[in-house]
Structure 1
Amino acid sequence: MADLTGKVALITGGGTGIGKGIAERFHGMGMKVALAGLDQASGAANQYFGRNMGGYTAARDLAETLGEGAVAIEADVTDAAQVEAMTAATVETFGRLDVLVNGAGVITAKPIQELEEADWDSVLGVNAKGTFLTNRAAVAQMRAQGGGGCIVNISSIAGKLGVPFLTHYCASKWAMIGFSISLAKEVAKEGITVNCLCPGIVGTQMWTLLSKAFAQPGESEEVAYARSIETFIPQGVPQTEGDMADMTAFLVAAPHVTGQAFAVDGGASH
């Protein structure tokens, strides 16, 4: 693997779950990491059973734990001005931007007749619009540096497979894949790679919500989670933050891999 020591990565959603796992891996490889997060949801829909998501607080705690070469930035990826400021703060702190990992994401789970505009706007706003805004800012900075760089947008196997009660979430994740493939072709000759990571079932706060939403009558969250793994994952085991960090680290070090959507899902998707 290429030596990534000193490379600078901006990771949205970098304080929790998959983003945290990637941040810890990158920092352990000698990279500098800017961890972006948001505590209070800006949209009308609740996320993870409340408005306070704790993303920035978690990013700040992780940056303190990692120490030198790590910084936390508070930013809402649905707000263009905040995304520009987040990118500028990364460059101001570390001097450049080599890698964007766009991991900020939200979800609600509802049948179509109960799905409200607020749910659609919130999920599409963070997952799809957030991808557009963060990628646009990253490409501009990479171009200003003379080209070269890597973008990894964290989609989902829901971006490859339809899932009941997640129509809006699936739409957002399919959008991320189409966007990433298109952008990859647009910037290919500038040495900027753009790929998607599509996780399967990882035991993050998102799956805490889904386990509650998908639980059958009288079924505990733990049993619902285990049933989801048995139903959807051929290997029969959940994926881990470390699995996602493995693929992301590979993509950052692979200059000729671009325009792809890689599933790390234990064989769940084709």
Structure 2
Amino acid sequence: MDTPLKGQVAIVTGGARGIGRGIALTLAQAGADVLLADLLEEPLAATADEIRALGRRAAFAKVDVTQAVQLEGMVSQALSELGGLDILVNCAGVISISPVSELTERDWDFVMNVNAKGVFLGCKAALPHFRTRKRGRIINVASIAGKEGFPNLAHYSASKFAVVGFTNALAKEVAREGITVNAICPGIVRTYMWDRLSDEWKTQGESIEESWQRHQLTLIPQGRAQTPEDMGRLALFFATMDNVTGQSVNVDGGFTFH
């Protein structure tokens, strides 16, 4: 097995399930040891076991990404338990569905705090270590909703647009310090979030499964959904490329072009 990340350590927030899990397993398959951070304790432990089954070391931490002290502790745990930190993947995210006219300030703040502030705090926690080493890979998970707005998801789109802009700006700040910063923009991936959207957007008499199938066929030019493993492969690319930085790359089956 090709192991380009052998001897490296990665942190993946939101790593318990979905896209985060897919990225974590892909990095582990490429040789990385992984610290998983999430609020979901049972799935955290299960994903850690999967990583260990691949012959890699795994640790996990219950972390609220809106709390700076917890993210600083996460980085310290990676250094103490796994012996280093080479790759940070900020994947923790939330979604809610509401037109702006009915959107509460509380829901706006919740989505923005997890999706945008959480990325900022994660990067800030890892940067001192990366700067000391003069090397690091930061991979933020944004969304195609960070490049194109969607009705009833204005707050979610705003949070992901923020991630795209933040990624590009930070990449320029640290470009000469051996640190790259890039973003993955997933398209339609069968996760808990998309099950919620399929339920919200189903037509009268349509099941969630039928809604999901319809959205794949009508929205994606390739006619099929993307997978967490697809996002993992792009994360691996970013983790191994020295001269790619400041980019936000879509993995969406042709849904968007920018």
- Cα deviation, 1:89-144, whole Å, max 9, x if unaligned, reads 11111121100010000000111222111111110000000010001111112113
Task: Spell out, residue by residue over 1:247-269, the C-alpha distance to the aligned partner (whole angstroms, 9 max, x if none).
Answer: 11111001100000000000011
Q: How does 1:21-100 map to 2 (within 5 A)?
A: 21-38=22-39, 55-67=40-52, 68-100=56-88
**Sequence identity of aligned pairs in percent?**
47
Residue 207 of structure 2 is aligned to residue 206 of structure 1: no
- The alpha-carbon distance between structure 1 residues 261 and 2, as it changes in their structure 2 partners (threshold 3 A), is farther
Which region of structure 1 is more displaced relative to structure 2, 210-219 or 169-178? Answer: 210-219
Equivalent runs, 1:154-233 vs 2, <5 Å: 154-233=141-220
Distance 2:204 2:110 in 1: 28
SS of aligned partner of 1:136 = helix
More moved, 63-72 vs 204-213: 63-72
Q: 1:143-162: per-residue Cα shift (whole Å, max 9, x none)?
A: 13x21110110000000111
Give the letter aligned to residue 235 of structure 1.
Answer: Q
TM-score when normalising by structure 1: 0.91
Letter in 1 for 2:248: A
Alignment pair present for 1:101 and 2:89? yes
Superimposed CA distance per residue, residues 18-54 of structure 1 (whole angstroms, 9 cap, x where no aligned partner): 111111111112110000001xxxxxxxxxxxxxxxx
For structure 2, which runs of at least 5 residues remain unmatched after alignment?
A: none
Structure 1, unmatched stretches of 5+, are 39-54
- Note the C-alpha offset of 1:2: 7.8
Letter in 2 for 1:164: P
Deviates more, 1:193-202 or 1:20-29: 20-29
**Aligned equivalents of 1:111, 1:212: Cα separation in 2:** 16
Please give the per-residue CA displacement for 1:186-228, whole angstroms capped at 9, x wherever unaligned.
0000010000000000101110111111112222111111222
CA contact (8 A) 1:11 1:34 kept: yes
Match of 1:131 in 2: 119
Q: Secondary structure at the match of 2:93?
A: coil
Q: Which moved more, 1:27-36 or 1:171-180?
A: 27-36
Matching residue of 1:143: 131
Aligned to 1:244: 231
- Residues matched between the structures, number: 253
Alpha carbon RMSD of aligned pairs, Å?
1.2
Moved beyond 6 Å, runs of 4+: none
* TM-score normalised over the length of structure 2: 0.95
Q: Paired residue for 1:114? A: 102
In 2, the alpha carbon distance for the partners of 1:23 and 1:101 equals 9
